[in-house]
Each structure stands twice: as structure tokens, then as C-alpha cells.
Amino acid sequence: MSNLKYSNFSADNRLEVMSQNTYSGGVRVDPLPITAGQEITVFYSGMLNDSGADQVYLHTGYGQSDQWNSVNDHRMEKVGWGWAKVIPVEQSGNLHLCFHDSAQNWDNNAGVNWTFQVHNG
């Protein structure tokens, strides 16, 4: 697994392009398809961003839809178009995402979260 570095997302034109795509709930992931063992960028401009959250956290887990394993919270970085975070993808199968702010307000896509299939290399 590579070491994640603090990124200067403001210099990353890819985030601006990601922000211009319209996806359900303001969530975008790059690259797609997702491959286990690689890193992805998660971009968020959903309802927590729209409500003026001072900090947004990416909540991740792996497994079936009703069972989350290896659950983590990742502090996201505010960028000009929303929030972004680069994370390592550690497992194949389903990667689940949802978001919360520092006041514990959650955006979980109306209870269904966001789920992405992760492939083996």
C-alpha cells in the first residue's frame, strides 16, 4: 500500500472536471472501474456541502449492503467545488460510501448509501 500524502487539490484540474459531472447526490469517484490495491479520488458536493458544513468526513466500508466491514472515517479536504479525498482501496467486492459533518449530520443517499463494485487487479 502506498503512503498517502496531503494533496494540493486546488492544483488538480481533474477535480474541476469531476465537479462538472452530474451524479446522484453529488458523489463522484475516479477512476472507474475501481481496482483493489489502487487509490481513488472521491469528490462530494452533496447536501452537507450545500448546507455549509465546516468539515465533511467520508465514511467507508466493504461488504454486503447490510454488513459493513473495515469501516473508516476519512477527513475530506475542502476544494473550490466541494470536498475531496484520495483513499486506498483495500478489498475487492463492494465499497460503500456515505458522508457526515462535524455535527454528525449524515448524507447516506436516502438510506441506500453509495456502493461501487471493486475488481481484483
Does 22 map to a domain? yes
Domain that residue 30 falls in = 9-119
Q: Are 61 and 71 in contact (CB under 8 A)?
A: yes
Tell me, what CATH number does 85's domain have?
A: 2.60.40.10
d(CA 4, CA 61): 18
* Mean pLDDT value across the chain: 86
At 6 the pLDDT is 42
Number of domains in the chain: 1
Does 69 map to a domain? yes
pLDDT tops 80 at residue 3: no
Give this prediction's pTM: 0.83
Residue 25 — very low, low, confident or very high, per pLDDT cuts 50/70/90?
Answer: confident
Does 27 map to a domain? yes
Residue 93 — very low, low, confident or very high, per pLDDT cuts 50/70/90?
Answer: very high
